[in-house]
Amino acid sequence: MLINRRTAVKAIAAVALARPAIAQTTIDWSALALEDTDAPRIPDALKGFEDQPSVSGPITGYQPFGTHPPQPDEEILANKVLDKAPTNCSPVEVALYFLDVAAGKYGDDLRPYTTAWPVRWNPVIVKFFTTTSTTPSGDTTAWCAAFVNYCLIQSAIGRKQISGAADPTYSAASSSFRSWSTKIDLDKRRPGDVVVFQSKSSPGHGHVGFFVAEDAKRPGNIIVLGGNQFEGSPVRHAINRKSLATDGGVLKVHSYRTDPQLHA
């Protein structure tokens, strides 16, 4: 599944420009400062495999999770989700749109398109990789950075160029955001800024998402809105708000990053 990044990004822009741009809305951050608890949905056609988890990471040999093509009707629903994604807004508003899809605000039939599936790949997740130079192995390749890059690119469509705005990293590696735009001190971070994590056991790896708030229920944790975040039983990788420790057993915060486009 070879993807030409430049061609794919242009295609995203062409489709989005064919519909009205969506203006910014007022975000109620206090209402969003909670961890999601709803289990991710998978398509009804895959209910027979609901005991199987989704997996994250490159394919090394056969793994029966998310590695087979979706059905034609699933492609249609995936395109419906992508076509509704907002433009001319802040990147976090694009992420919040997918959070609304996961919550069923656009219909129960679209809810499964924000999580990785067993057996077949979720075509929405694979689409996120068109903003990177990575060819994914279905939806089993870690996709947190692809999701953030997609939000950066999608939000800029139809919007006047913002002075000083950094380019997307065009990378599926979370570490690509460790030097992205401007690093800020803890007391300067704002909801909608990018937060980058580093793996303690494998420093070259980590996670990236959008900072939402301190977790009032768990001191030392923050609420992160992002993709490829664990949820449910069996564990699936989904777009959600997750409470993550700033210095936990697996991950620690590497840096908070800000940029003019994140708050314009």
The per-residue pLDDT for 4 is: 43
Contact 226, 144 (CB under 8 A): yes
Separation between Cα atoms, residue 114 and residue 231, nearest integer Å: 12
140-197 pLDDT, tens digit each: 788 999 999 999 999 999 999 999 999 999 999 999 999 999 999 999 999 999 999 9
pLDDT, position 233: 83
Q: How far is CA 238 from the centre of its chain?
A: 8
Output the six-digit token pair for 97. Answer: 């749109």
pLDDT at position 110 is 98
R_g of the chain computed on alpha carbons: 17
Counting beta carbons within 10 angstroms of the beta carbon of residue 205, is it exposed (0 to 12), middle (13 to 18) or buried (19 or more)?
middle
Q: How confident is the model at residue 20 (pLDDT cuts 50, 70, 90)?
A: very low
What's the pLDDT at 25?
60
Band (pLDDT 50/70/90 cuts) for residue 52 is confident
Can you give the residue ranges of every domain in the chain?
5-262
Nearest to 64 by CA among 114, 102, 121: 121
**pLDDT at residue 204 tops 60:** yes
pLDDT at residue 122, as a whole number: 93
Q: DSSP secondary structure string, 80-127?
A: HHHHT---SS-HHHHHHHHHHHHTTTT-GGGGGGGB--SSB--HHHHH
Which residue has 């289990």 as its token pair? Answer: 39
3-state secondary structure 19-40: CCCCCCCCCCHHHHCCCCCCCC
Listed in order, strand segments (DSSP E) in the chain are: 182-184, 194-199, 206-214, 221-231, 236-245, 251-258
Q: What's the whole-model pTM score?
A: 0.88
